[in-house]
């Protein structure tokens, strides 16, 4: 005889307990809106999944002003610009001088730690190690979903609003009928080979390098741990790369007449990061709303992924706040259109940065030289520099 499901009733059910889902949960709880978060991974797995994070000033403000934690200000590393490097020469862009804005380097797993701690501190209901198996009644006033927790107990959640914040492989997204959705995507013929290394910073600012050998990003993590990437084949095997080979490859992609040298050290993490451009339209169906990677993904070149997710959260939170305080669903109906305006701006910027900085896989000399011409145009024009700086540091929320 099958065991009956335990029924849970809440106002907002959130599938996905990464930064986007937890931030929405945090904001809703501050307004007295009941919510439940269900996440398939366990806390420690997420905490130990190293992912870079470059936060726009507005994302930093959202964390701090909402009372999550101030660690982003004390541990995070504020950056005033980036360095575009091509033809072996560096071209610094000063964001503060160009657009009076900065970004903050703060790893995504650290943001997760802060948000998870804030939800625990405030008595939030977050169920880790719990798998969602079914979504139901999405076009009714009481959407539902079923999940099984770590012990094998099955629950059925009844809510007013259901939010899919379950990442790029979103289960929620797949439950929207094909007749009610349209997908837009671009697959890239390259990936990033990423490393974490115990080494001092090689540069004050991040270096985005275009070279005949392929793209490289000289990023950072802290004063003693650095993150770096170089363009590679999506099927590259990290086991084939020794430390000496990795450092040699990174160095040749930043070599130039100025004899710039990377600061090296032991490598303790290697990964191949595949990526694509993807947008689902619309970002809602009935009472189901998608936020973050569940609805769209961007190449990491433009540093927009987490910032877009937080922008989605802000738009949806304001719509939900209006829905519960004034019983007005106008903003909820407008969520997808409003969020997508920013999504497509970010898609354009991310695609542009990716195309301009990566070396064509087929070694097409026209495309390679065209990209160098574009880099020269951007760096030699104040207007070009301002466009890149404004897009990188983020457009106003509104």
Annotated catalytic residues are: 79, 208, 300, 304, 392
DSSP-assigned letters across all residues of 381-392: -HHHHHHHHHHH
Of 53, 29, 221, the closest CA to residue 126 belongs to 29
Of 330, 329, 346, 356, the closest CA to residue 392 belongs to 346
Pairing of strands 81-86, 206-210: parallel
Of 245, 244, 260, the closest CA to residue 211 belongs to 260
| CA gap 348, 187 in Å, rounded | 15
Decide: residue 168, CB within 10 A, 0-12 exposed, 13-18 middle, 19+ buried.
Answer: middle
Longest CA pairwise span in the chain (Å): 76
Whether the CB-CB separation of 106 and 72 falls below 8 Å is answered with yes
| CA gap 216, 256 in Å, rounded | 14
Residues paired with residue 77 on neighbouring β-strands, in sequence order: 105
Decide: residue 100, CB within 10 A, 0-12 exposed, 13-18 middle, 19+ buried.
Answer: exposed
Q: Kindly list the distances between the CA atom of residue 13 and the CA atoms of 25, 147, 261, 286, in Å, as whole numbers in the listed order.
A: 9, 11, 51, 14
Structure tokens at 17: 């307990």
3-state secondary structure of 125: strand
């Amino acid at each position: 005889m099958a065991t009956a499901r335990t029924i849970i009733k809440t106002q907002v059910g959130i599938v996905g307990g990464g930064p986007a889902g937890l931030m929405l949960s945090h904001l809703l709880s501050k307004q007295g809106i009941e919510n439940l978060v269900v996440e398939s991974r366990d806390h420690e797995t997420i905490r130990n999944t190293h992912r870079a994070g470059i936060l726009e000033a507005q994302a930093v403000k959202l964390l701090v002003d909402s009372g999550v934690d101030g660690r982003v200000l004390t541990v995070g590393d504020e950056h005033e610009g980036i360095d575009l490097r091509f033809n072996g020469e560096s071209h610094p862009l000063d964001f503060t001088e160009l657009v009076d804005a900065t970004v903050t380097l703060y790893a995504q797993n650290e943001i997760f730690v802060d948000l998870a701690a804030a939800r625990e501190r405030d008595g939030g209901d977050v169920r880790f190690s719990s798998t969602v198996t079914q979504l139901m009644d999405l076009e009714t006033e009481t959407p539902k979903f079923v999940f099984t927790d770590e012990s094998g107990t099955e629950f059925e959640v009844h809510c007013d609003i259901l939010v899919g914040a379950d990442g790029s492989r979103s289960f929620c997204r797949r439950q929207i009928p094909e007749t009610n959705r349209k997908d837009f995507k671009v697959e890239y013929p390259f990936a990033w080979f990423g490393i974490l290394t115990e080494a001092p910073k090689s540069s004050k600012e991040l270096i985005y390098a275009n070279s005949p050998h392929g793209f490289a990003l000289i990023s950072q993590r802290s004063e003693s741990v650095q993150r770096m990437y170089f363009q590679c084949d999506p099927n590259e095997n990290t086991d084939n790369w020794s430390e000496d080979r990795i450092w040699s490859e990174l160095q040749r992609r930043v070599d130039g007449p100025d004899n710039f040298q990377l600061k090296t050290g032991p490598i303790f993490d290697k990964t191949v990061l595949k990526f694509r451009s993807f947008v689902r339209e619309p970002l809602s169906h009935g009472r189901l709303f998608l936020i973050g990677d569940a609805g769209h993904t961007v190449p990491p070149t433009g540093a927009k992924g987490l910032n877009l997710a937080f922008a989605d959260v802000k738009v949806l939170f304001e719509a939900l706040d209006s829905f519960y305080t004034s019983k007005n669903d106008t903003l909820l109906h407008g969520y997808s259109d409003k969020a997508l305006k920013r999504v497509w701006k970010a898609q354009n910027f991310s695609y542009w940065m990716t195309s301009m900085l990566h070396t064509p896989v087929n070694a097409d000399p026209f495309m390679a030289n065209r990209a160098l011409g574009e880099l020269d145009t951007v760096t030699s024009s104040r207007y070009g520099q301002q466009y890149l700086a404004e897009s990188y540091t983020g457009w106003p929320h509104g």
